[in-house]
């Protein structure tokens, strides 16, 4: 780890069908965060376009790009221009018939520091990601950058303590989750609140269990279902950063576009792990069953 206090920018943005306008708005928001001193800026999941996984449509594979490709070239230039580490989230075309949901990290000089392919792929009403994405095959490896090791995971990964643990065990200084999650507008308010609180709680628990800060960036706004079989998704925003004891450092609105810039003290992980030595006390001799799907009685 080469930095102690790190300024991080979280960009919570709504999107339209116009990809060029979405990217232009992202550029302006990145510039705004960089002007406020952010050295690390995190974008939401699949930020170039609408969240296209609400329906299964083979024509939407046309949105995918190779890596490297046009988007990586553009975001590389943006990272170099502002001298920032930039976490992006792209629809990767690896080969015909093989596509991934891929986070790409750029360092301050514009170089590609590394990438992570989303490992856990959901298949729920409105989130038909198994139709589009092949599960990742790069494992849970932090990405080394000039500001430290970034444990980048993506959306559905955020519900799995195993993913967070493996990133932390491999030396991640931060856990980072680009996200696209929201409500079915037909759900009642009590159910919406339970879902949002569960989403926040599980990620804060990863910070506590591993003694590392967590950054989660969600999109905002209502996006219609192209198939018209549902009322679409209302993304709930609430992008946030928390410290290694799960304490909130910053939290965005549930309804508004917002740029957050927050200072994170990376030295606190060392202090917290000394008083809560969870890694020391893990019973690694007794966890063999964890690799099984389920344990029948």
State the catalytic residues: 45, 118, 155
Q: Identify the DSSP state of 136.
A: P
Q: What three-state secondary structure class fits 205?
A: helix
Report yes or no: 65 and 75 within 8 Å, Cβ to Cβ: no
DSSP string of 84-130, one letter each residue? -EEEEEEEEEEETTEEEEEEEEE-TTS-EEEEEE-----EETTEEGG
Give 293's contacts (C-beta < 8 A, 6+ positions apart). Answer: none
Give the tokens for residue 17.
């069908």
Q: Are 29 and 252 in contact (CB under 8 A)?
A: no
Report the b/e string of 182-214 with b at 16+ CB within 10 A. bbbeeeeeeebeebbeebbeebbebbbbbbbbb
Q: How far is CA 118 from CA 90, 114, 138, in A?
A: 10, 13, 9
């Amino acid at each position: 780890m080469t930095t102690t206090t790190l300024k991080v920018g979280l960009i919570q943005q709504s999107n339209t069908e116009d990809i060029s306008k979405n990217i232009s708005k992202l550029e302006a928001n990145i510039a705004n965060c960089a002007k406020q001193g952010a050295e690390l800026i995190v974008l939401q999941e699949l930020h170039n376009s609408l969240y296209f996984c609400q329906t299964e449509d083979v024509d939407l594979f046309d949105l995918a790009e190779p890596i490297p490709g046009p988007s990586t070239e553009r975001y590389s230039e943006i990272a170099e221009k502002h001298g920032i580490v930039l976490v992006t989230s792209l629809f990767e075309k690896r080969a015909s018939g093989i596509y991934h949901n891929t986070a790409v990290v750029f360092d301050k000089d514009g170089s590609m520091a590394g990438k992570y392919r989303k490992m856990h792929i959901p298949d729920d009403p409105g989130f038909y990601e198994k139709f589009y994405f092949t599960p990742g095959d790069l494992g849970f490896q932090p990405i080394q950058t000039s500001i430290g090791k970034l444990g980048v995971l993506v959306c559905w990964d955020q519900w799995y303590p195993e993913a967070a643990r493996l990133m932390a065990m491999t030396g991640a200084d931060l856990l980072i989750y680009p996200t696209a999650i929201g409500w079915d507008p037909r759900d009642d308010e009590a159910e919406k609140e339970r879902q949002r609180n569960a989403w926040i709680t599980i990620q804060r628990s990863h910070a506590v269990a591993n003694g590392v800060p967590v950054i989660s960036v969600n999109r905002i706004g209502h996006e219609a279902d192209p198939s018209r079989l549902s009322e679409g998704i209302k993304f709930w925003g609430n992008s946030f950063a928390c410290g290694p004891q799960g304490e909130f450092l910053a939290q965005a609105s549930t309804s508004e576009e917002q740029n957050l810039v927050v200072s994170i003290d990376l030295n606190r992980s060392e202090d917290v792990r000394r008083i809560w030595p969870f890694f020391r006390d893990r019973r690694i001799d007794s966890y063999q069953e964890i690799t099984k799907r389920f344990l029948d009685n």
